[in-house]
Structure 1
Amino acid sequence: MSKSIFRKKSITKILADCASGFSDAEHSGGSSLKKELNVKDLTLMGIAAVVGAGIFSTIGLASFNGGPGVTILFVLTAITCGFSALCYAEFASRIPVAGSAYTYAYASFGELIAWIIGWDLLMEYAIGNIAVAVSWSTYFVNLLEGFHIHVPLYLTMDYYSAFTAHEQVLEFTKNHNLAAITDTIKEANIAWNTAPGFGGLKLIANIPALAIVVGITYLVYIGIRETKKATNAMVILKIAIVIAVIAIGFFYVTPANWHPFMPNGFGGVMKGVSGVFFAYIGFDAISTTAEECRDPQRDLPRGMIYSLIICTVLYILIALVLTGMVSYKNLAVGDPLAYVFNQVHLTKISGIISFSAVIATASVLLIFQLGQPRIWMSMSRDGLLPKIFSKIHPKFHTPSFATIVTGFVVGVPALFLNLTIVTDLTSIGTLFAFVLVCGGVLLLPREAAKAGRFHLPYINSKWIVPALFILCAYFFRNGIIGLFDGTHNKDDLPFFLFIGLSAVLTVLAFVKNLSLIPVLGLLSCFYLMTELGYTNWVRFLVWLVIGLDIYISYGYEHSLLGEKIAPWHKQAKKISMIGAILAIFVVVVFDPQESVTMDVIYGLLGFALGYLVVYSGAALLFSVFQKEKAE
Structure 2
Amino acid sequence: VVLVLTGLTASADIDKNAPLAVAFDGIEGMAWVSFLIDVGGLIGLSTTLLIGLYAQSRVYLGIARDGELPKILARVHPVRGTPAAAQIWCGIVAILLAAFLDVSALASLLSIGVITSYSFVCATVLMLRSNNPSIVKRSLLFTVVLSVVLGATFRCQAPWWLIGALGVLLLVSLAPFLRSMHFFVPDSYPCPFVPSVPWLGLTSNLVIMAQLPLAAWIRLVVVTVLVLSWYEWRKRFRERGAAQGGGLFSVNDNTSRPYAHP
Q: Output the TM-score relative to the length of structure 2.
A: 0.68
1:391 Cα offset (Å): 0.3
- Change in Cα spacing, 1:503 to 1:532, as seen in structure 2 (3 Å) is farther
Residue 333 of structure 1 and its aligned partner are, at CA, apart by 3.3
Q: Does 1:323 align with 2:6?
A: yes
- Residue number in structure 1 paired with 2:111: 427
Which residue among 68, 71, 80 is the counterpart of 1:396? 80
Matched, 1:383 2:67: yes
The one-letter amino acid paired with 2:65 is R
Q: Whole-Å Cα distance in 2 between the matches of residues 362 and 426 of structure 1? A: 18
1:336 is aligned to: 19
For residues 140-289 of structure 1, what are the structure 2 equivalents within 5 Å? none
Residue number among 167, 174, 180 corresponding to 1:511 in the alignment: 180
Q: Distance in 1 between matches of 2:235 and 2:69?
A: 6
Rounded Cα–Cα distance in structure 2 between residues aligned with 1:320 and 1:422: 29
Provide the C-alpha distance between the structure 2 equivalents of 1:516 and 1:508, rounded to a whole number of angstroms.
8
> CA shift at 1:334, angstroms?
1.2
Q: Match for residue 162 of structure 2?
A: 478
The one of 334, 348, 354 aligned to 2:32: 348
Where is the helix percentage greater, Structure 1 or Structure 2?
A: 1
Output the CA distance in 2 between the equivalents of 1:411 and 1:325. 37
Distance, in Å, in 2 between the alignment partners of 1:340 and 1:502 is: 39
Unaligned runs of 5+ in 2: 131-138, 154-158, 184-194, 244-262
Aligned-partner SS, 1:512: coil
Q: Deviations over 1:334-360 (max 9, x none)?
A: 111111111112112222222222211
Query: Which residue is 1:187 aligned to?
Result: none
Residue 502 and residue 374 in structure 1: after superposition, are their counterparts in 2 closer, same or farther (change >3 A)?
farther
Shift of 1:510: 4.9
Q: Taking structure 1 as reference, are residues 523 and 387 closer, same or farther at Cα in structure 2, changes over 3 Å only?
A: same
Deviation at 1:379, TM superposition (A): 0.6
1:541 corresponds to 2:225: no
Which letter maps to 1:344?
A: I
Q: Is the 8 A contact 1:502 1:523 kept in 2?
A: no
The separation in 2 between residues aligned to 1:511 and 1:357, in whole angstroms, is 48
Matched, 1:522 2:202: yes
Residue 542 and residue 522 in structure 1: after superposition, are their counterparts in 2 closer, same or farther (change >3 A)?
same
Q: State the alpha-carbon separation in 2 of the partners of residues 396 and 377 from structure 1.
A: 15
Post-superposition shift, 1:479? 5.6
Which of 341, 356, 370 is residue 54 of structure 2 equivalent to? 370
What is the distance in 2 between the residues matched to 1:435 and 1:556?
29
CA contact (8 A) 1:376 1:390 kept: yes
Deviation of residue 405 (structure 1)?
Answer: 0.9
Q: 1:396 to 1:438 in 2, by over 3 A?
A: same
Report the CA distance shift for 1:377/1:556 in structure 2 as closer, same or farther (over 3 A). farther
SS at match of 1:394: coil
Normalised by the length of structure 1, the TM-score is: 0.30
Asked if 2 retains the 8 angstrom alpha-carbon contact of 1:392 and 1:400, the reply is yes
1:476 Cα shift?
5.4
8 Å contact kept, 1:341–1:350? yes
**Aligned match of 1:554:** 234
Residues 1:503 and 1:535: Cα distance change in structure 2 (over 3 Å): farther
Distance 2:79 2:173 in 1: 52
Q: Hey, what does 1:222 align to over in structure 2?
A: none
Q: Does the C-alpha gap of structure 1 residues 354 and 539 become closer, same or farther in structure 2, counting only changes over 3 Å?
A: same
- What secondary structure, in the 3-state scheme, does the structure 1 residue paired with 2:15 have? coil
For residues 440 and 432 of structure 1, what CA distance do their matches in structure 2 show?
A: 12
- What's the RMSD between the two structures over aligned residues? 3.5
SS in 2 for 1:398: coil
Q: What 5-or-longer segments of structure 1 have no aligned partner?
A: 1-317, 447-461, 482-494, 566-631
Shift of 1:427: 1.1
Contact 1:432/1:525, CA 8 A, preserved across alignment: yes
Q: Does 1:357 align with 2:26?
A: no
Deviation at 1:367, TM superposition (A): 0.7
The CA distance in 2 between the partners of 1:380 and 1:508, in whole Å, is 36
CA offset at residue 417 of structure 1?
Answer: 2.5
How many residues are treated as equivalent by the alignment?
207
* Separation in 2, partners of 1:405, 1:558: 22
Identity over aligned pairs, percent = 29
Structure 1 position 527, deviation (Å): 1.1
Cα displacement (A) at 1:556: 6.0
Counterparts of 2:46 and 2:112, CA distance in 1: 23
In 2, Cα distance between equivalents of 1:333 and 1:410: 24
Do the aligned partners of residues 478 and 504 (structure 1) sit closer, same or farther apart at CA in structure 2, a change above 3 Å counting?
closer
- The whole-number CA distance in structure 2 between the counterparts of 1:385 and 1:555 is 11
- Determine the C-alpha separation between the residues in 2 that align with 1:545 and 1:553: 12
**Do the aligned partners of 1:390 and 1:402 also contact (CA within 8 Å) in 2?**
yes
Asked whether the 8 Å contact 2:115–2:205 carries over to 1, the reply is yes
Query: What is the rounded CA distance, in whole Å, between the counterparts of 1:322 and 1:391 in structure 2?
Result: 48
Residue 580 of structure 1 is matched in structure 2 by none
8 Å CA contact 2:77, 2:83 repeated in 1: yes
Closer, same or farther: CA 431–404 of 1 in aligned 2, 3 Å: same
Q: Distance in 2 between matches of 1:389 and 1:526?
A: 33
User: Does the aligned pair in 2 maintain the 1:381–1:390 contact within 8 Å?
Assistant: yes
Say if 1:362 and 1:555 are closer, same or farther in 2 by CA, change over 3 A. farther
CA contact 2:73–2:83 (8 Å) conserved in 1: yes
Q: Per the alignment, in what secondary structure is the counterpart of residue 180 of structure 2?
A: helix
